[in-house]
Structure 1
Amino acid sequence: MRCPFCGHEASQVKDSRPTDDNSAIRRRRQCEACGARFTTFERIQLRELTVLKSEGRRETFDREKLERSVTIACRKRPIEPNSIDRVVTGIQRQLETLGESEIPSQRIGELVMDALQGLDSVAYIRFASVYKDFTAAQDFARIVGALKDDLTDNS
């Protein structure tokens, strides 16, 4: 594992333990060259996923990109980082168990929307505004109205 401080290629594992939700292994490492300590996380990857973008381009699935998108939608909301990690892990597991190696980006967006709707309505609306490319206030009114209807139906 490359040291993030000095770039040296070798490090020693000082401690390993599962994360709270058992979705990854947390490893404390120490660089053999500079002695700096850092943490890495190892996650199980069931299959290699490729994202099919709407314009036809293909790119490798990037968990960090998904996590950034969800984190941005949840910014300044009373949501614990562990909750965001569980959402991202859940979406990744759903994608890996679909049985397909190529996933349309729209499918990923729908899974994020579903997860955020159950987590926080403001984060859901924020993500929807980018994902659905809102251009006017009426777009916000439409999704808030749909959200209200869903809340009424579930009451």
Structure 2
Amino acid sequence: MKCPFCQHPDTQVVETREVEDGQALRRRRRCAGCDKRFTTYERAEVSFPGVVKKDGRRVDYSRDKLAASLALALRKRPVSADAVDAAIGRIEERLLQTGSRELESAQIGEWVMDELKRLDDVAYVRFASVYRSFKDPAQFVQILEEMARGGKTIRAPRGKKS
């Protein structure tokens, strides 16, 4: 693999570890040319189902788009990158388990909401408000009540220490 910094063709694997519950390998590499280190990920190449959008368009599944949606909902929230990667892995596992050639985007959206509910209350409400196109504050109250009924506690914002 070429070095991303100097394009030298010789790099050495310094460390390898499993990530995403064993679904991928993370490798730390060192360039023999410039001695800089960088990280690569290795995943099995699989064929994901196509995604049917609300308007009927068909698009290829995109891990990057899924990651961007999660990142937007989780922006400035205390959730680790490893937890986000694991959530993406679980969603992709569900995609593959369907065995379908195509899947409605609404189904993927529901799975994203399930994962966000596990990761962070605020991110879940953020995503749900956009995904379900909330029109008024009563819809926010409704989703908060649903979360409270489900035993999910809504954390109060932390105050600043003086």
Tell me the TM-score normalized by structure 2.
0.78
| Stretches of structure 2 lacking an aligned partner (at least 5 in a row) | 153-162
Contact 2:18 2:26 in 1 (8 A): yes
Q: Deviations over 1:58-100 (max 9, x none)?
A: 1111112111211221222222221111111101111111101
Contact 2:48 2:95 in 1 (8 A): no
Aligned twin of 1:78: 78
Q: Deviations over 1:20-55 (max 9, x none)?
A: 432211233456877654322112243233111111
Aligned twin of 1:99: 99
Cα separation, 2, equivalents of 1:14 and 1:72: 32
Aligned twin of 1:122: 122
Aligned twin of 2:156: none
Contact 2:14 2:30 in 1 (8 A): no
Cα separation, 1, equivalents of 2:8 and 2:147: 50
Shift of 1:17: 1.6
Residues 54, 36 of structure 1: CA spacing in aligned structure 2 closer, same or farther, 3 A cutoff?
same
- The alignment yields a C-alpha RMSD, in angstroms, of 2.4
**How many residues are aligned here?**
151
% identical equivalent positions: 40
Aligned twin of 1:17: 16
Cα separation, 2, equivalents of 1:102 and 1:33: 45
Matched, 1:57 2:57: yes
Cα separation, 1, equivalents of 2:33 and 2:12: 14
Cα separation, 1, equivalents of 2:8 and 2:132: 43
Contact 2:12 2:32 in 1 (8 A): no
Aligned twin of 2:155: none
Contact 1:16 1:25 in 2 (8 A): no
Cα separation, 2, equivalents of 1:92 and 1:142: 29
Opposite residue 96 of structure 1, the aligned amino acid is: L
Opposite residue 18 of structure 1, the aligned amino acid is: R
Opposite residue 18 of structure 2, the aligned amino acid is: T
Tell me the TM-score normalized by structure 1.
0.81
Residues 122, 57 of structure 1: CA spacing in aligned structure 2 closer, same or farther, 3 A cutoff?
same
Which has the higher mean CA deviation after the structures are superposed, 16-25 or 131-140? 16-25
Cα separation, 1, equivalents of 2:56 and 2:10: 40
What is the DSSP-based 3-state SS (H/G/I as helix, E as strand, rest coil) of the residue aligned with 2:84?
helix
